[in-house]
Amino acid sequence: MQSVLVLAPALVLLTLLYLLPLAQMLLRSILDPEFTLEHYQHFFTEAVYLRVLGVTFRMALAVTVLTLLLGFPVAYVLSTARPRWRNIMLLAVILPFWISILVRTYAWMVLLGRSGVVNETLLRLGLVTEPIKVINTQAGVLIGMTHILLPYMILPLYSVMRGIDPRLMQAASSLGAGTWSALRHVYLPLAMPGIVAGSILVFIISLGFYITPALLGGPRDQMVAMVIAGQVQTLLNWGFAAAISAVLLGTTLVLFAVCNRLVGLDQMFGGISR
Partner 1 sequence: MLFFLVAPISIIVPVSFSSSQFLQFPPPGFSLQWYREIFTGPNWTDSIITSVQVGVLTSLLATTLGVLASFGIVRGDFRGKQALYTFLLSPMIVPTIILAISIYFLYARMRLVGSLLGLTLAHTVLALPLVVVIVSAALRGFDVTLERAARSLGANEWTTFFHVTFPLLRPAIVSAAFFAFLTSFDELIIALFISGTSAVTLPKRMWDGIRLEISPAISAVSVLLIAIAVVAFVAIGILQRKGAGGSDD
The footprint of partner 1 on residues 206-225 (CB under 8 A) is: 207-208, 210-211, 215, 225
Amino acid residing at 46: E
**Smallest distance, partner 1 to C-beta of residue 161, A:** 14
Of the candidate residues 59, 200, 241, 263, the single one contacting partner 1 (CB under 8 A):
241
Contact 78, 89 (CB under 8 A): yes
CA atoms within 13 A on the CB side of 186: 20
Residue 176 φ/ψ, nearest 5 degrees: 105, 0
**Smallest distance, partner 1 to C-beta of residue 258, A:** 13
Q: Which stretch binds partner 1 (CB under 8 A): 4-12, 126-134, 163-171, 185-193?
A: 4-12
Within 17-46, the residues that bind partner 1 by CB under 8 A are 17-18, 20-22, 24-25, 28
Of the candidate residues 11, 31, 171, 235, the single one contacting partner 1 (CB under 8 A):
11
- Please identify, using beta-carbon distances, which residue of 64 and 245 lies nearer to partner 1: 245
Of the candidate residues 9, 126, 176, 219, the single one contacting partner 1 (CB under 8 A):
9
**Smallest distance, partner 1 to C-beta of residue 83, A:** 7
Applying CB under 8 A, does 65 fall inside the site for partner 1? no
CA distances from 32 to 21, 184, 225, 249, 251 (A): 15, 53, 20, 19, 22
**Smallest distance, partner 1 to C-beta of residue 252, A:** 6
At residue 126, the 3 state secondary structure works out as coil
Amino acid residing at 183: L
Applying CB under 8 A, does 234 fall inside the site for partner 1? no
Applying CB under 8 A, does 233 fall inside the site for partner 1? yes
Site mask for partner 1 (CB under 8 A), range 92-131, x = bound: xxxxx-xxxxxxx-xxxxxx-x-xxx--x-----------
**Smallest distance, partner 1 to C-beta of residue 36, A:** 18
Please give the Cα distance from 109 to 128 (Å, whole number): 19
DSSP state of 32: S
Amino acid residing at 97: F
Within 253-272, the residues that bind partner 1 by CB under 8 A are 253, 256, 265, 269
Q: Which stretch binds partner 1 (CB under 8 A): 50-58, 126-134, 187-195, 233-241?
A: 233-241
**Smallest distance, partner 1 to C-beta of residue 111, A:** 6
Long-range Cβ contacts of 265-272 (<8 Å, 24+ apart): 267/156, 267/159, 267/160, 267/193, 267/194, 267/197, 268/156, 268/197, 268/200, 268/201, 270/156, 270/159, 271/154, 271/155, 271/156, 271/157, 271/158, 271/159, 272/97, 272/152, 272/155, 272/156
- Please identify, using beta-carbon distances, which residue of 144 and 186 lies nearer to partner 1: 144
**Smallest distance, partner 1 to C-beta of residue 105, A:** 9
